[in-house]
Amino acid sequence: MEQKSIQFFPEQASTIAHSVDGLYLYLVLVTAFFSILIATLIVIFAVKYRRRADTPTPKAVHGGLWLEITWSVIPLGLSMVMFAWGASIFFTESRPPADSMEIYVTGKQWMWKIQHMEGQREINELHIPVNRDIKLTMTSEDVIHDFYVPAFRTKSDVLPGRYTTEWFHATKTGAYHIFCAEYCGTKHSGMIGTVYVMEPQQFDAWLSGGGGTGTLAQKGEALFSQLGCVTCHQATADVKGRCPNLHGIWGRPQQLTTGASVTVDAGYVSESILNPSAKIVAGYENIMPTFSGLVTAEGVTELVEYVKSIGPAPGAPGSAPAPAAKGAPAAKGAPAAKAAPAATVKP
């Protein structure tokens, strides 16, 4: 971040930044134009039509169809431009491209915890490669936070018990502010961090350096046995036990006892772990205990990634539960998001 004496705008460091600023400029210009116009006319009319001794009694004016149409249609047009333009940017910002590199973010009073697919963790720092679509999947351990990177012109609420996403495509290397943009308690103003946008080679080097103890999915697999999930969720393909088989459920619709169906995603899996009685899979009973308090938010993320990584159950009965995540070595950088689905291919 170079030092600038006066800076009206943060740097434009993402693909969306220009469009957001363009819309903002339009809003400012339209607002300024009408504010100045109206204020000026008030002054002019106040002077021109001030009360004087010889003021004649004005004639009442009725109607004025064209005048009314004009002052309705022009503001309507101007505000519809705001609406359409804003909606188009909103849609772009809310739909992460399919091949985005995924990173998990957990907000907590008062810090940001980051988990990379490859297993790297960081706090209040986020390292990313330049010129890649990055998708953040975010949740909170306590209250509502909001992950805001002004230089990327993007922010999104981070909610407890739910996953929200945010994506961006950084166009410039450098260091940029992360702010929490939702008042979240006494040290809210200290809930700040830095995004480091790096050249891809630099990023790969960063990613491979330091404390790699397996990918997120591998950590999740370890937790899966540590917490005893494995004792119930036996991964046998042919036996329909008392507990559902978790193989291949990711991304599929799941039938519930209520008759409703849900798609298995991060939110559903995390709810299944923290509040299992909220949604019961059709054909099963409400016997899964809650793991709320026994597993950290990061642990839940790891379990989610593990469930995502386990492909369909192995065809042959009796064969070991497909340790899909184990088979896929920590892929570096680019194919991070792809590593898991690739592992779902049947042997």
Q: Which residue do the tokens 């995924």 mark?
A: 102
- Single out the residue of 147, 302, 338 nearest to residue 227, CA to CA: 302
Binding mask 124-153 for Cu ion (x = CB under 5 A): ---------------------x--------
Rounded (5°) CA angle 55-57-59: 130
Give the span between the Cα atoms of 307 and 247, in whole angstroms.
8
Reduced to 3 states (helix: H, G, I; strand: E, B; else coil), residue 46 is helix
Q: Is 244 in the site for ligand HEC (CB under 6 A)?
A: yes
State residue 192 phi and psi, 5-degree precision: -125, 160
324 is a contact residue toward ligand HEC (CB under 6 A): no
* 155 within 8 A of 188, measured Cβ to Cβ: no
How far apart CA 325 and CA 114 sit, in angstroms, is 20
Tell me how far apart the alpha carbons of residues 6 and 258 are, in angstroms, rounded to a whole number.
Answer: 59
- Angle among Cα 253, 257, 258 to the nearest 5 degrees reads 90
> 136 contacts which partner out of ligand HEC, Cu ion, none, CB within 5 to 8 A by kind?
none
Residue of 97, 185, 228, 329 interacting with ligand HEC (CB under 6 A): 228
What's the closest the beta carbon of residue 261 comes to ligand HEC, in angstroms? 10
Stretch that binds ligand HEC, among 68-76, 112-120, 139-147, 240-248 (CB under 6 A): 240-248
Number of residues that bind ligand HEC (CB under 6 A): 28
- Least gap, CB of 184 to Cu ion (angstroms): 3
In whole angstroms, how close is the CB of 94 to Cu ion at the nearest point?
21
| Sequence-ordered alpha helix ranges (H) in the chain | 17-48, 65-94, 200-208, 216-226, 229-232, 266-274, 297-309, 324-327, 336-343
Q: Is 233 in the site for ligand HEC (CB under 6 A)?
A: yes
Minimum CB distance to ligand HEC, residue 273 (Å):
5
What span, in angstroms and rounded, lies between the C-alpha atoms of 240 and 243? 8
> Which residues, numbered 190-209, are part of the site for Cu ion (CB under 5 A)?
191
Q: How many CB atoms lie within 10 A of CB 124?
A: 15
CB nearer Cu ion, residue 107 or residue 333: 107
The mark string for 248-277 relative to ligand HEC (x by CB under 6 A, - otherwise) is -x----x---------x----x--xx--x-
Question: Of how many residues is the chain composed?
Answer: 347
| Of 174 and 244, CB closest to ligand HEC | 244
Task: Please report, as residue ranges, which positions from 163 to 192 form the binding site for Cu ion (by CB under 5 A).
Answer: 180, 184, 191
Q: Out of ligand HEC, Cu ion, none, which partner does residue 287 contact, by CB within 5 to 8 A per kind? A: ligand HEC
The helix or strand, by DSSP H or E, that contains position 310, with its residue range, turns out to be none
Smaller CB separation from Cu ion, 145 or 308: 145
CA–CA separation, 208 and 35 (whole Å): 56
What is the closest distance, in whole angstroms, from the C-beta atom of residue 135 to ligand HEC in the complex?
Answer: 22
Residues that bind ligand HEC (CB under 6 A): 227-229, 231-233, 242-244, 246, 249, 254, 264, 269, 272-273, 276, 280-281, 284-289, 291, 303, 307
Residue numbers at the binding site for Cu ion (CB under 5 A): 145, 180, 184, 191
